[in-house]
Structure 1
Amino acid sequence: MPSQYTIYLVNQSSSTQTFWCFLTRPAEIASDPNVFANSSASIAIDSNDPSTNYFVIPVQYSVGAGASNNAVGLDVQVTSTISQNSDLAQVWNADYANAPPKKGPKLTLASTSTGPNSIKLVTNSFNQEDNESLGWYSNQSFGIQTASGFMGMTWSPSPNQSRTLTPKLSFYISVGSFGSSTLADWTQVSNDSAQVSVPGSFTGGACTVTLLNNGKWKIAPGKPAQFALLENLAFLKSDEHSQLMAMAYLEDATIQQDTVTQVHWDTSSVAKLSAEEEAEGYVANTFLTGTITVATALTAGFAYFVVSGVQFSITSVNGATTVNFSYSGAQSAATIQNLLVAGAQAIFGGNRP
């Protein structure tokens, strides 16, 4: 699993839109009307803005606790006064003080653990009724803290309450007039939104969410199409690409760019260097073989294809969209396998004999 996921945002509507990202609720609190959506992660994007806009979401959960003069409820701005990064299986003790005086809570990691896919919050015994009569309201939050802001949920904890949460990496992308750290209704958040989930919506840790000019959403695994061209820019400016174009011209051949839809790896090996070669600092070549399938039919009997400046030899063809290939080069097997994935853009060229 990647350590972070990137949601790329494209605005094809006719006006500037503010995109918000909300983390979906764990199953344990999915039907609780007293748990509210809470996000400060937003970005305003102009109509057909050519710049790159995205949310980067680390796989790192966060728990929070707070107390303030604001009661937890719709349209109330709430932020935790203390928050901690949390790993799965951890248990956190949230200790709230009795007022007066009006003090913030403490949030400490317990020595116990919970299920391997869950996080548990344990609230102490405190006098909630007296605190609230003095205008001092407790809150508790769970979510993910990103560079763009917090995305998660907030509720008012009850004394002696234990809450076990089994999070899922699923998100709502929505546009609208939400307020930063202002509690929102889940129906409002989820209606007319795009929902993306790990792993199905992502390829290579990325997905692209587009707001179309008819107000509907389009979700596509991987980066935006223009990124594939940028990734191949170094190759397009290289001597190898010039030679490829020259060969295409001289041989009356063609080149074709296509999207990889499926990759299957067969074999992997690394050449063994002699002692003399190791002493000279030579790097052992990696040998890989496999099969790729692309989105559209290949228009010629190509000899090779290039992905992000790395060349692969085509060894045979299996139908109109599938080819067997091999790689031989100095890059590691892991590097090549992370490069050649579904969603990658491949440039085909050369003529197979």
Structure 2
Amino acid sequence: MTYLVTGAAGFVGMYVAKQLLEAGETVFGIDCLTDYYDVSLKEERLKELDKFEKFSFEKIDIADQAELSASLADKRIEYVIHLAAQAGVRYSLQNPHSYIQSNLVGFLNILEYCRHNPDLKHLLYASSSSVYGGNKELPYSVSQSVDKPVSLYAATKKSNELMAHSYSHLYRFPSTGLRFFTVYGPWGRPDMAYWMFTESMLAGKPIKIFNNGDMKRDFTYIDDIVSGIMKLVKAIPEDGGEGHPPYAVYNIGNNRPEPLMELVDILEKSLGVKAELELLPMQKGDVKETYADIEPLRKAVGYEPVTRLQTGIPKFVDWYREYFERT
């Protein structure tokens, strides 16, 4: 079978593509390699995938419909795993147009491709826990209203879910959205707190702690995210007829909110460095706590995260040291 993985040079995209390739599947990866963060990291991820004979890659901007269509014209893609997006809550305050192009125009182009692809069996795409906005009811459940986003990034991800629903309703192709909760681990993103804290602590610089440290996140290790995706790819939503399109949305998280200062404590122990704290107020677009209700995903595919923060962060630190010694 042939899989299209968009955002293949990204953090989650690389891991998903690698897992598929290790299982003997054929993977076509696309990515536009934006400079949102260090492009060399994305290129190094691609080198990990280039080791596999059944991997091919093209540098493509999904917001360019003509380029995307031309690239996919001769491919027989059965499964689309759409992970390409402009990520980051805080960056959406600085560069909102990039979110519209990638997350809305780009996603529309992916939906149009799926609509016209006779070989398609399932579209699985990345949403985000950010869609819950300032929701105070914990844990976050997919049955809750998510109509009050507090960042443009969140608004684009909620829009993706609505767009996918409309296409699944109109054209009856199966789609599944995944609301990721604070994914971390080796090969991760430099804009995430655990990476920025590590970088600053090793450089002897203070780390920025928002809301004076009174925050919690449902930190989810990358291996647990990938295991959920692998289970869901073949768990294709059924077409229930009028009013019940072949459409699903799930939370995928660790089901365990951890205090931000617990992350700092684990990093201090892993790095052997005492953190200097710069306490700051809450930043616009941010939320105090995230907490995933994963019961629907458990029932659907038996999903169960197994990696605690105390285990995952040291693995990241080991990788970080090795990566920067090598590069």
Q: TM-score range by the shorter chain?
A: under 0.3
Structure with greater Cα Rg: 1
TM-score, structure 1 as length reference: 0.23
* Greater percentage in helix: 2
TM-score, structure 2 as length reference: 0.24
* Greater percentage in strand: 1
